[in-house]
Structure 1
Amino acid sequence: MARMPRWLQGRSVDRPVPLTDLKLTAQILSYSRSKGLFAGLELKGVVIKPDKDDMRDVYGEGVTAREVLKENKVTAPVSVRAFPNTLGRFSSRLAENRD
């Protein structure tokens, strides 16, 4: 069994925190502090339902999640672009390290 990381020793957590390796191969990993959160997870057979109010607030009236995610009919606002750009930057690094 893996040892508890030093940074986690002596801290209380209110959620399960699975141990993983440097390549983050655990199915679910979460870590939070008072000013941040990181979560990585694997989705298989999961249904994610978009929030219509949030979609309207970000993209405007009548824009669907399908148009944004699958059909690329809508350009994401600047406020939204930072998130997928950051994911892409780190995902490509992880993919390179796995080879």
Structure 2
Amino acid sequence: MKRYASYLPLIFSFVYALYPVAASAGQGVYQRVDSAFRVLYELNATPEKGIPHDLLSSCAGIAIFPGVIKGGFILGANYGEGILVVRDQKTNKWKGPTFLTMGGGSFGWQIGLESVDFVMVIMNERGVRAFLSNNATLGVDLSVAAGPVGRKLEAATDASLKAEVYSYSRARGFFAGVSLQGVYIYNDYDANQAFYLHPYLPSEILYGDIPKVPEEAQRLLTYLERFH
């Protein structure tokens, strides 16, 4: 990793250069929540290729990033907007969403531009807290691995699940487990205020007792309630 350190300024410059492209294809906060629901629903529409129910019933949270823009020419970068929902460990109810952005870079021969959907299943409370820290780096601050697929976890697979985040992606119409490394996660405070019409902090949304969750989020939360 050290030998790539000198390229980091170029990668970050590319990320920021990519931002206008992503913003032009960006979504309002309500559409972002709706798109996140559709991504998760479509991922699980084919159970044999979806997230195992055992994983969903035991995870601490889920981050969904619909339509992440990935681009590259030798150096690669990505930018996306998404949401995070968490499971209340006491009541087993789902709460949120709070809004996130993601960005990162990669090395190696690459060229082109594409839109990719990402789903990240967060397995423990430490992982959720890292997502909220505003400077989490997947693969550095959090262990991340390609997620298993299927109706149920095989016993051997279940015993080997040690990562804090299991990730899935969809490009060109199909989902697959993918290992995300070097991706940065940030809180989107402006989106939170636009959605809740109040400057709630992410911790207040996920762990506090806000008066009311906008109805646009209820479909996603209700859908997740079936996995228990």
- With CA pairs under 8 Å and 6+ residues apart, which has the higher RCO, 1 or 2? 2
* TM-score computed with the length of structure 2 as normaliser: 0.24
More strand, by proportion:
2
* TM-score computed with the length of structure 1 as normaliser: 0.47
